[in-house]
A = this chain, B = another copy of it.
């Protein structure tokens, strides 16, 4: 890198806070950089489908802009949006604590990422610890570090029948500074999905140790089971006094990744604290975005079902294609990712780079997802079936060519 400054990049980094200097580059953002504006690559590395946001949502935002809804907003979010979140949760979970969900539990955030940032700050101070079961979306642990806290990684156990979380492993990782557990079910990238019994056991463990749960159920609507509107949720087992924060996003269900809008759900008594952290982060979310988000909740089920169907078809294509290849192993996928292991790979970043260069197939390297991820690759299958077939074919050919056979 050139710089007009006479100082080196290392000199500049030495001038930063320890938290900023230690923040890692996102392994996913690094591989994505290959893809922006480059043609030919089939980009399956990122957690994003290939469908733009449904037109009726874009039009709702455009209409709000045209109406002049361009002023400051209540920092907690519009009453309309908070109410729509309550009604949406009522439809999914049939209420909370024996009553309808209260709008006051919900707060609009400038992305699911920001919901996570705020949940971390609510629960963990400088020097505190947060437990992160891995492999996991790397942004969570990185955001813990940016907050001056420490992410304690606890790997899940892999078997081709399914990933497994061992609660004894979790309990052993709890120390005097542990404040929270990050619980991502269905998991990005592994697809691990807790049963209701497992959720209850995890909640009991956290109750015993006075830990918060930061619950990321972002992929709960991607069930792959026609009978289920949602995977098992902590909403079904939580009690009013439990330390549970939910973080969520509009990105996946309604193809709104590029909007940067999400929500945090918190005990109502924490409303002022949540609002203050929103105020000092981005101070709120654009009203014209919130109008579209409320519409997605109220009228977005058909669009979501179509995305779900596309993901199901994608899942069948990639699991079918990769199951036939030698040296490939994976558990039943969840969310909209296949997380598969390639025998003999000990540097997934180098492998993924070679695959991009030589076969134009973009996968996220497992090493980006923390402990237990090395040797694996994440493939997003919420994409065009033809692209998925082409990617799997290209991958199979490339594997065959590099194999000494």
Contact = CB atoms under 8 A, between A and B. Distances in A.
A267 B121 CA distance: 28
B46 A70 contact: no
Given A5-B267, A142-B279, A269-B12, A72 B58 contact: no
A267 B3 contact: yes
Contact of A273 (B13, B139, B281, B284): B13
Nearest to A73: B258
B121 A269 contact: no
A47 to B, nearest CB: 9
A9 interface: yes
B258 A286 contact: yes
A74 B287 contact: no
Interface of A: 1-9, 11-13, 15-21, 23-26, 29, 32-33, 36, 46, 48, 52-53, 55, 58, 61-62, 65-66, 68-75, 97, 99, 110-111, 113-114, 117, 121-128, 139, 142-143, 146-148, 179, 212, 240-241, 243, 255-260, 267-273, 275-277, 279-289
A147 B280 CA distance: 10
A61 to B, nearest CB: 6
B19 A279 contact: no
Contact of A3 (B12, B111, B126, B269): B269
Given A212-B15, A268-B1, A273-B13, A23 B280 contact: yes
Given A62-B62, A113-B283, A122-B20, A7 B241 contact: yes
B65 A17 contact: no
A114 B148 contact: no
